[in-house]
Chains A and B, each alone.
Chain A
Amino acid sequence: DVKVTQSSRYLVKRTGEKVFLECVQDMDHENMFWYRQDPGLGLRLIYFSYDVKMKEKGDIPEGYSVSREKKERFSLILESASTNQTSMYLCASRGGRGGYTFGSGTRLTVV
């Protein structure tokens, strides 16, 4: 069964910490995405990548960066975590036919 795996289901970090959220897919997909999900706001695209070492800003990139050193791994980085980055983070990958597969999310709390 194809999978997108997010390394942590729950994470608690302190304000100002550097935070890494990891996502790995086993489908050899070229396209990977990071979304943020907040109640009443739906899912919003933070960053995406269409190839190794390539990245594109989504709708809300401020305060975030990404890294894609290998095709299967796409990392979201919070350089200096703030309380307004407390949220659910969802990773997804997309294959050639347009089908998206999502991870089961990381609920991040910044205190």
Chain B
Amino acid sequence: AQTVTQSQPEMSVQEAETVTLSCTYDTSESDYYLFWYKQPPSRQMILVIRQEAYKQQNATENRFSVNFQKAAKSFSLKISDSQLGDAAMYFCAYRSSPFGGGADGLTFGKGTHLIIQP
């Protein structure tokens, strides 16, 4: 079974600075998806960024980028120019078989609570 580990229960960063959230995972598969989700106090899970394992290029979405190290099984999220609205729980998640038709669910890490200091 796959496992996802987020070793930072809480992180704090000054507004406008850069912060990196860590995520490692364990799998024996070669094809899979990795995700970062944001959950603000509204509880709505919002997709931040997605990475396909077969792609070597790191995914980016505006101020959000990942450092995907497949051999090391590491998938960190970098948030540049942090804003107050970035304050939330961040979850790293794994899904196997991206090209299959199966209904595999996501395996989540325990989350990192990100605090933005004004």
CB of A27 closer than 8 Å to a CB of B = no
The answer to whether B103 and A49 touch across the interface, beta carbons within 8 angstroms, is yes
Tier of interface size on chain B: 20 to 34
Q: Which residues of B contact A33 (CB under 8 A)?
A: 103, 105-106
Contact A48:B103 (CB < 8 A) given known A43-B91, A90-B45, A98-B95? yes
The answer to whether B110 and A104 touch across the interface, beta carbons within 8 angstroms, is no
Distance between B88 CB and nearest chain A CB, rounded to angstroms: 14
A42 to B4 alpha-carbon distance, docked (Å) = 10
CB of A77 closer than 8 Å to a CB of B = no
Main secondary structure of the interface of A (DSSP, over half): strand
Contact A56:B103 (CB < 8 A) given known A43-B91, A99-B47, A104-B44? yes
The answer to whether A42 and B103 touch across the interface, beta carbons within 8 angstroms, is no
Contact A50:B103 (CB < 8 A) given known A42-B109, A42-B111? yes
Beyond A43-B106, A90-B45, 19 additional pairs, beta carbon < 8 A = A30-B103, A31-B103, A35-B105, A35-B108, A42-B4, A42-B109, A42-B111, A44-B108, A45-B107, A50-B103, A56-B103, A58-B105, A92-B106, A94-B103, A98-B95, A100-B47, A100-B106, A104-B42, A104-B44
Interface residues of A (CB under 8 A from B): 30-31, 33, 35, 40-45, 48-50, 56, 58, 88, 90, 92, 94, 98-100, 102, 104-105
State the 6 A-B residue pairs at the shortest beta-carbon distance, nearest first.
Answer: A50-B103, A102-B45, A42-B110, A43-B108, A45-B105, A42-B108
